């Protein structure tokens, strides 16, 4: 039986790195202590120059940004952050700050908090902007997925024009095979006629037009249908063309 000491240490959970940009040490210390207790990894900088250096040195998950700073104002810091990416930003506003929320929103602040504020309110705002940022990232991820067609055990990457197995093993396709497969996979369970297949291949100088569609189809089947027992992904529709069935169970 393994002793307690031989157990691997559990992986430390990722602590979100929060940058607190605030020149009032009383305020920044209060926020930092509170966020540490709440499981964050906070760091304090007092100037916009400090923010730039810190953001360039390591990945920041969220920025708490005071508007009144000694070197430049928070707006120019916000503009700089937005030019580099989408890190969530919560602006802190003092009584003397003229806050134009419209300008702030155009510049891309995610939320505002007026001083003095309750630390629990700050935490609630942080959760809400982080949730929105995660959702935005998920949507961006979905858009990236549309650059690939997935069927049976295969992924056809449209940006690299590569066919890969689920395990990521690439399979070489000729240009003609690639074009035919894209047309078929984009039209699942529909008859694709021989004329349509000729159209995607015709007039190209990437391959001499010396092989019939049937030869390309038969090569594609050989590459795609790895098990002789499984039904082919490309079915022949007699006298008309072919039909792509993306799921072998169907």
For binding to Ca ion (CB under 5 A), which residues are involved? 23, 66, 68
Shortest distance in whole angstroms from residue 69 CB to Ca ion: 6
- Closer by beta carbon to Ca ion, 31 or else 201: 31
Taking CB atoms, the residue at the shortest distance from Ca ion is 68
Shortest distance in whole angstroms from residue 145 CB to Ca ion: 43
- Closer by beta carbon to Ca ion, 77 or else 173: 77
Structure tokens at 169: 């093993």
N-term to C-term CA, the chain = 49
Shortest distance in whole angstroms from residue 50 CB to Ca ion: 13
Shortest distance in whole angstroms from residue 80 CB to Ca ion: 17
Number of H helices, E strands in the chain: 8, 12
- Closer by beta carbon to Ca ion, 48 or else 176: 48
Gap between the Cα atoms of 196 and 138, Å rounded: 36
Beta bridge partners of 148: 157
Shortest distance in whole angstroms from residue 25 CB to Ca ion: 11
Gap between the Cα atoms of 110 and 125, Å rounded: 9
- Closer by beta carbon to Ca ion, 68 or else 108: 68
- Closer by beta carbon to Ca ion, 68 or else 246: 68
Gap between the Cα atoms of 154 and 165, Å rounded: 5
Q: Would the CA dihedral through 153, 159, 162, 164 be positive or negative?
A: negative
Gap between the Cα atoms of 232 and 215, Å rounded: 15
Shortest distance in whole angstroms from residue 67 CB to Ca ion: 7
Residue given tokens 């959760």 in the structure block? 127
- Closer by beta carbon to Ca ion, 23 or else 225: 23
Structure tokens at 95: 């009584």
């Amino acid at each position: 039986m393994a002793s307690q000491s031989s157990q691997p240490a559990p992986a430390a959970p990722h602590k979100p790195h929060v940058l607190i940009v605030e020149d009032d040490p009383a305020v920044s210390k209060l926020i930092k202590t509170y966020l540490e207790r709440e499981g964050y990894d906070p760091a304090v900088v007092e100037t916009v120059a400090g923010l730039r250096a810190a953001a360039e040195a390591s990945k920041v998950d969220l920025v708490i940004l005071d508007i009144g700073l000694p070197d430049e104002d928070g707006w120019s810091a916000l503009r700089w952050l937005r030019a580099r990416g989408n890190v969530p930003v919560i602006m802190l506003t003092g009584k003397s700050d003229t806050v134009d929320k419209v300008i702030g929103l155009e510049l891309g602040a995610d939320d505002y908090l007026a001083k003095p504020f309750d630390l629990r309110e700050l935490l609630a705002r942080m959760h809400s902007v982080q949730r929105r940022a995660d959702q935005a990232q998920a949507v961006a991820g979905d858009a990236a997925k549309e650059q690939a067609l997935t069927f049976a055990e295969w992924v056809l990457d449209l940006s690299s024009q590569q066919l890969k197995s689920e395990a990521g093993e690439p399979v070489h396709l000729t240009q003609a095979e690639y074009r035919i497969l894209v047309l078929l996979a984009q039209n699942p369970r529909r008859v694709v006629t021989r004329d349509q297949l000729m159209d995607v291949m015709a007039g190209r100088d990437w391959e001499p037009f010396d092989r019939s569609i049937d030869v390309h189809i038969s090569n594609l089947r050989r590459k795609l249908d790895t098990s002789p027992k499984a039904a082919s992904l490309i079915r022949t529709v007699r006298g008309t063309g072919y039909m792509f069935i993306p799921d072998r169970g169907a």
